[in-house]
Structure 1
Amino acid sequence: MTEIKIYFNKNNLAFENLKPLVDLIMPGLLFCNSTFIHKNYSFLRYFVPGIEHILDKDYLSITSSVIFDERIRFYHRSRIEFAQQALIDILMDQVKRNYIKYPIIIKMYNSDQMLESDKSFFSLLIERQKEFDGKIRFFMDKGQHFFKGEDINLIENTQERGTQPGNCGFSFFSTLSKNEKFKRAMGLGLYEDAIKIGENLIKSSEGIERDNLNLKLAVAYVGNDEIEKGEQYYKQIIKDCDFPSIKISALYGLSMLYLRHFPKHKRSMEYGEECLIKARKLIEENKDILGDNYLFHKVFNRNGYSLVLFKKGDYSNAHEYCVNGQKSLAKFYGEDKHLLHRTVLLYNSTMTACALNNFDEALEHFSLLLKLDPYYEDYWSSRGSLYKTIGDYKKALKDFSHAIELNPYAQNFYLQRAETFEVMQEFQKAEKDYLRALCLKPNDTNAILNYSCLLIDLGDYDKALELLQSQAYKESDDLYKIYNNIGLIYLEKELFKESINYFEKTMAIKSNFVPAYINMSTALFECGFLDDALEYLNKGLELETYNPDYLYNRAYLYKTIEDNEKAITDLKEVLQIDPNHTDARLLLSELEMVNTHE
Structure 2
Amino acid sequence: MAYSDYQELIAVARENFIAGKYSTAEPLLTQLLLTNAREPEIYQMLATIFYDQGKFNKAIKTFKRALEIDPNYTDASIGLSIILNDLGRYDEGKTIFVEAQDLLSKKKSKMDPFVQDKIAKKHLELASLYFQYFDYKEAIDQYYKALALSTKKEDIVIKIAESQVKLDHADKAIKELKKYISEYPQAIGARLKLGIIYYNANRIIEATEQWEQILARDPNHKEAKSFITMAEKAGVTELGV
Asked whether the two chains share a fold, i.e. TM above 0.5, the reply is yes
Deviation (angstroms), 1:426 = 1.6
Deviation (angstroms), 1:453 = 2.7
Q: Indicate whether 1:401 and 2:178 are aligned.
A: yes
Q: Give the corresponding residue for 2:48.
A: 249
Cα RMSD (Å): 3.5
Deviation (angstroms), 1:379 = 3.3
Q: Give the corresponding residue for 1:431.
A: 208
Q: Indicate whether 1:279 and 2:59 are aligned.
A: yes
CA contact (8 A) 1:303 1:322 kept: yes
Deviation (angstroms), 1:326 = 3.9
Sort the Cα spacing of 1:417 and 1:388 in 2 relative to 1 into closer, same or farther, 3 A. same
Bigger proportion of residues as helix: 2
CA contact (8 A) 2:161 2:173 kept: yes
Structural mapping, 1:44-63, within 5 Å: none
* CA distance, structure 2, for counterparts of residue 207 and residue 440 of structure 1: 53
Deviation (angstroms), 1:343 = 4.4
Structural mapping, 1:199-214, within 5 Å: 207-214=9-16
Q: Give the corresponding residue for 1:65.
A: none
* CA distance, structure 1, for counterparts of residue 213 and residue 13 of structure 2: 45
Deviation (angstroms), 1:450 = 3.5
What is the TM-score of this pair, normalised by structure 2? 0.67
Sort the Cα spacing of 1:370 and 1:285 in 2 relative to 1 into closer, same or farther, 3 A. closer
Deviation (angstroms), 1:440 = 4.1
Q: Indicate whether 1:217 and 2:5 are aligned.
A: no
Deviation (angstroms), 1:451 = 3.7
* CA distance, structure 2, for counterparts of residue 447 and residue 278 of structure 1: 49
CA contact (8 A) 1:234 1:251 kept: no
Deviation (angstroms), 1:301 = 2.1
CA contact (8 A) 1:414 1:434 kept: yes
* CA distance, structure 1, for counterparts of residue 26 and residue 150 of structure 2: 37
Q: Indicate whether 1:388 and 2:165 are aligned.
A: yes
SS in 2 for 1:437: helix
* CA distance, structure 1, for counterparts of residue 228 and residue 50 of structure 2: 44
Structural mapping, 1:67-82, within 5 Å: none
SS in 2 for 1:409: coil
Amino acid of the residue matched to residue 248 of structure 1? A
Q: Give the corresponding residue for 2:77.
A: 298
Deviation (angstroms), 1:360 = 2.9
Sort the Cα spacing of 1:245 and 1:410 in 2 relative to 1 into closer, same or farther, 3 A. same
CA contact (8 A) 1:276 1:301 kept: no
Deviation (angstroms), 1:392 = 1.6
Structure 2 stretches of 5 or more lacking a match?
Answer: 1-7, 31-41, 237-241
Q: Give the corresponding residue for 1:362.
A: 139
Q: Indicate whether 1:324 and 2:89 are aligned.
A: no
Deviation (angstroms), 1:439 = 4.1
SS in 2 for 1:408: coil
% identical equivalent positions: 12
Sort the Cα spacing of 1:235 and 1:426 in 2 relative to 1 into closer, same or farther, 3 A. farther
* CA distance, structure 1, for counterparts of residue 185 and residue 22 of structure 2: 36
Higher CA-based Rg:
1
Structure 1 stretches of 5 or more lacking a match?
Answer: 1-205, 219-232, 255-270, 310-316, 460-598
Amino acid of the residue matched to residue 360 of structure 1? K
Q: Give the corresponding residue for 1:576.
A: none
After superposition, what is the alpha-carbon deviation per residue over 1:68-127, rounded to whole angstroms, capped at 9, x for unaligned?
A: xxxxxxxxxxxxxxxxxxxxxxxxxxxxxxxxxxxxxxxxxxxxxxxxxxxxxxxxxxxx
CA contact (8 A) 1:378 1:403 kept: no
Deviation (angstroms), 1:296 = 3.9
